[in-house]
Amino acid sequence: MDIKIFDDYQTLSIATALQIVDTVSRHSNAVLCLAAGNTPALTYDFVVRLSRERDVDFSQVTFIGLDEWVGVAPGNSGSCACFLNQHIFVPLSISAKRIFLFDALAPDLEFECVKMNDTIARVNGIDLMLVGVGMNGHIGFNEPGATSSSYAHVVLLDETTQSVGQKYFDTDMKIGTGITLGVAQLLESKKVMVIASGTSKASIIKRALDGAISGDVPASYVRMHANSACMLDKAAASLIS
């Protein structure tokens, strides 16, 4: 795993955005899977800006959803769908037919998982995944205890995820369950980037990079991927050896 450390959130975000834009400029029908959350928000703003400055066409890119809060509607501003719409899909005018997100209101969530697994197979896999790291080491909603062999699945969210996740919502929200791609899908994608910023992430980043590769810290599994990068600002990297 390539560990890249940048001075601050801004330079981290520009560098991460460049990787995404470069992927699409080399491979116009790339398949991308991008996390929601606070950390990559500025990255996506730079993706939009750089794609315009460099005239990189995103119209043939396919977007695969990483995860969603079960029971939360896509119109809710705290949903992953709403975040991606606002930061990526609308500014880049991505056609709905190229966007494949989990329907977290579907009556049959297991079928949603089957559909997502089939979609990923049909598009010949994911070219680039960008994932954040939760305070408990989760990636997507692969929570502590996750195995490395899972595909899309429904998961009971751990207490940290439920409480930290409130930050995305305007009002108290019941977010006990998630639906997520699995670690196997991360390991099978052609490239994975993990992004983390700020001192609040420093200790979990240390455990993910310096500790054992284990389900205790699911982000550590990314080290098993031969083509992976960990994008950090100095604050997030401050405890790693």
Q: Which is nearer to ligand F6R, 56 or 87 (CB)?
A: 87
Q: Which is nearer to ligand F6R, 44 or 58 (CB)?
A: 44
* In the complex, minimum distance from the CB of residue 227 to ligand F6R, in angstroms, rounded to a whole number: 20
Select which of 138, 142, 153, 233 is catalytic: 138
**For residues 177 and 104, what is the distance between their CA atoms, to the nearest angstrom?**
10
* In the complex, minimum distance from the CB of residue 94 to ligand F6R, in angstroms, rounded to a whole number: 17
Select which of 67, 103, 112, 233 is catalytic: 67
* In the complex, minimum distance from the CB of residue 55 to ligand F6R, in angstroms, rounded to a whole number: 29
Pair of tokens at residue 150: 């899972």
CB 38 within 8 A of CB 133: no
Q: Which is nearer to ligand F6R, 68 or 127 (CB)?
A: 68
Q: Which is nearer to ligand F6R, 39 or 189 (CB)?
A: 39
**For residues 25 and 200, what is the distance between their CA atoms, to the nearest angstrom?**
34
Select which of 76, 87, 127, 136 is catalytic: 136
Does 87 participate in catalysis according to the annotation? no
**Residue showing the smallest CB distance to ligand F6R in the complex:** 132
* In the complex, minimum distance from the CB of residue 45 to ligand F6R, in angstroms, rounded to a whole number: 14
Q: Which is nearer to ligand F6R, 56 or 62 (CB)?
A: 62
Footprint of ligand F6R on this chain (CB under 6 A)?
35-39, 66-67, 80, 131-134, 138-140
Select which of 143, 153, 225, 233 is catalytic: 143
Does 124 participate in catalysis according to the annotation? no
Q: 3-state SS of the chain?
A: CEEEEECCHHHHHHHHHHHHHHHHHHCCCCEEEECCCCCCHHHHHHHHHHHHHCCCCCCCCEEECCEEECCCCCCCCCCHHHHHHHHHHCCCCCCHHHEECCCCCCCCHHHHHHHHHHHHHHCCCCCEEEEECCCCCCECCECCCCCCCCCCEEEECCHHHHHHHHHHCCCCCCCCEEEECCHHHHHHCCEEEEEECCHHHHHHHHHHHHCCCCCCCHHHHHHHCCCEEEEEECCCCCCCC
Does 112 participate in catalysis according to the annotation? no
* In the complex, minimum distance from the CB of residue 95 to ligand F6R, in angstroms, rounded to a whole number: 22
Does 103 participate in catalysis according to the annotation? no
Q: Which residues does the annotation mark as catalytic?
A: 67, 136, 138, 143
